[in-house]
């Protein structure tokens, strides 16, 4: 099928991940449930990457990673502060509430400058925390931020430090949905630790799937006390892979030689290319700064229909609307140029 821009999960497995998957398969019999050397190795590599002794768990997908991580931070009477466009709020079918036995998600106002960029701010958090203090309100306990955001924007180190400061003052835990963590690191050019534990993040859901893995995201506990019994949670949720090595080994391929970062840099560069190509097209208005690997643009309904007729696939329900074009680790400049040319033609 031709290259598409609907999601970065449309791409296949990147060569480095595939090579290690095959390598793990060729290594013969191994213990199950994560007691194998590939899982040990991938976990050690994640600890080395973050330069800290964190606890690492592999699950099948991002929904499970987020839901189980949040459940481990909350009691059922607690609440989680997030944006209205957060994946945990809009795209996980109530998973976080289900796995936490009812912890409520409290969403901030969308209609602020930061809100329009898909970001939480200290003020928005403060507003929700201080709105009520009585027994009838689910007690705020966690702040969940998405890095890069659902709208393709990225929190700076300063943004995160400011959020962490208010979280600390209000005794809130900090969870990061890092489905596109790699794209955020690539954009910021910082060390991964600077936007996680050094900035005050307690738990990171480190996405690998959209970065080039076949399957499997990592839950990384920087505050190791919070991971107590997490393994049981993973097992009960049906997220403990018996052949764990086939989730873990491809991670070795991503982490070795910083392939994860190269993949993200490439995807971001392709989004930049698309953004630049659409900037001056009449009838196309680009919505958010393209900091990570997506471009959001509004076009007329007729133009959108013509794009679909031309065979392009893209989502229009994400964030505050517009068409979302997502670039992946394998997106080619030629495909970007072809997409831009068709958009230019239908918008005219
Ligand atoms: C893709 C994505 C996830 C994970 O989704 P799964 O389909 O469950 O793997 C989580 N958060 C964000 C922001 C995402 O884009």
Q: Which atom of ligand 1 is nearest to the CA of 150?
A: 13
What is the structure's pLDDT at 320?
62
**What mean pLDDT comes out for the span 140-159?**
97
Is the domain spanning 261-347 CATH 3.90.1150.10? The answer is: yes
What is the structure's pLDDT at 151?
94
Q: Is the pLDDT of residue 345 over 70?
A: yes
Is the domain spanning 15-258 CATH 3.40.640.10? The answer is: yes
Q: What is the mean pLDDT of the chain?
A: 96
What is the structure's pLDDT at 317?
74
What is the structure's pLDDT at 109?
84
Q: Is the pLDDT of residue 248 over 80?
A: yes
**What mean pLDDT comes out for the span 252-259?**
98
Task: Please tell me the distance from the alpha carbon of residue 120 to that of residue 9, in angstroms, as a whole number.
Answer: 25
Hunting for tokens 């005050």 — which residue is that? 200
Q: Is the pLDDT of residue 117 over 90?
A: no
What is the structure's pLDDT at 298?
93
pLDDT tens-digit profile of 130-140?
999 999 999 99
- HSE (CB half, 13 Å, CA atoms) of 86? 29
Q: How far is the CA of 135 from the centre of ligand 1 (A)?
A: 33
Q: What percent of the chain has pLDDT over 70?
A: 99
Confidence of residue 116 (pLDDT cuts 50, 70, 90): confident
Confidence of residue 113 (pLDDT cuts 50, 70, 90): confident
Pick the residue with more confidence: 182 or 316?
Answer: 182
Is ligand 1 within 6 A of the CB of residue 153? no
Q: Is the pLDDT of residue 50 over 90?
A: yes
Q: Is the pLDDT of residue 53 over 90?
A: yes
Confirm whether 15-258 and 261-347 share one CATH topology. Answer: no
**What mean pLDDT comes out for the span 245-256?**
98
Domain boundaries, the chain: 15-258, 261-347
Is ligand 1 within 6 A of the CB of residue 183? no
Q: Is the pLDDT of residue 257 over 80?
A: yes
pLDDT tens-digit profile of 64-85?
999 999 999 999 999 999 999 9
Q: Which atom of ligand 1 is nearest to the CA of 60?
A: 9
Q: Is the pLDDT of residue 319 over 70?
A: no
Is ligand 1 within 6 A of the CB of residue 150? yes
């Amino acid at each position: 099928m031709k290259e598409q821009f609907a999601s970065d999960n449309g791409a296949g497995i990147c060569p480095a991940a595939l090579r290690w998957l095959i390598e793990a398969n060729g290594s013969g019999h191994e213990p199950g449930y994560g007691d194998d050397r590939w899982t040990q190795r991938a976990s050690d590599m994640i600890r080395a990457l973050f330069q800290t002794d964190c606890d690492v768990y592999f699950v099948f997908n991002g929904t499970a990673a987020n839901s189980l991580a949040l459940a481990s931070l909350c009691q059922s009477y607690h609440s989680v502060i997030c944006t209205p466009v957060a994946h945990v709020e809009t795209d996980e079918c109530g998973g976080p509430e289900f796995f936490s036995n009812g912890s409520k998600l409290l969403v901030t106002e969308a209609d602020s400058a930061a809100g329009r960029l898909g970001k939480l701010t200290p003020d928005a958090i403060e507003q929700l925390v201080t709105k009520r203090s009585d027994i009838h309100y689910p007690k705020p306990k966690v702040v969940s931020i998405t890095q890069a955001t659902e709208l393709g924007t990225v929190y700076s180190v300063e943004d995160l430090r400011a959020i962490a400061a208010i979280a600390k003052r209000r005794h809130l835990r900090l969870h990061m949905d890092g489905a596109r963590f790699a794209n955020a690191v690539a954009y910021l050019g910082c060390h991964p630790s600077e936007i996680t534990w050094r900035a005050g993040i307690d738990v990171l859901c480190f996405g690998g799937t959209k970065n080039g893995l076949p399957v499997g995201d990592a839950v990384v506990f920087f505050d190791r006390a919070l991971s107590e019994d997490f393994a049981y949670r993973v097992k009960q949720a049906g997220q403990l892979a018996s052949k764990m090595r086939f989730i873990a080994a491809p991670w070795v391929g991503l982490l070795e030689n910083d392939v994860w970062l190269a993949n993200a840099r490439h995807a971001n560069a392709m989004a930049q290319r698309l953004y630049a190509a659409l900037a001056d097209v009449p009838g196309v208005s680009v919505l958010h700064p393209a900091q990570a690997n997506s471009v959001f643009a509004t076009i007329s309904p007729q133009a959108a229909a013509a794009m679909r007729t031309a065979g392009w696939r893209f989502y229009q329900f994400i964030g505050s609307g517009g068409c979302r074009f997502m670039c992946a680790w394998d997106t080619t400049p030629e495909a970007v140029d072809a997409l831009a040319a068709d958009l230019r033609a239908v918008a005219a």
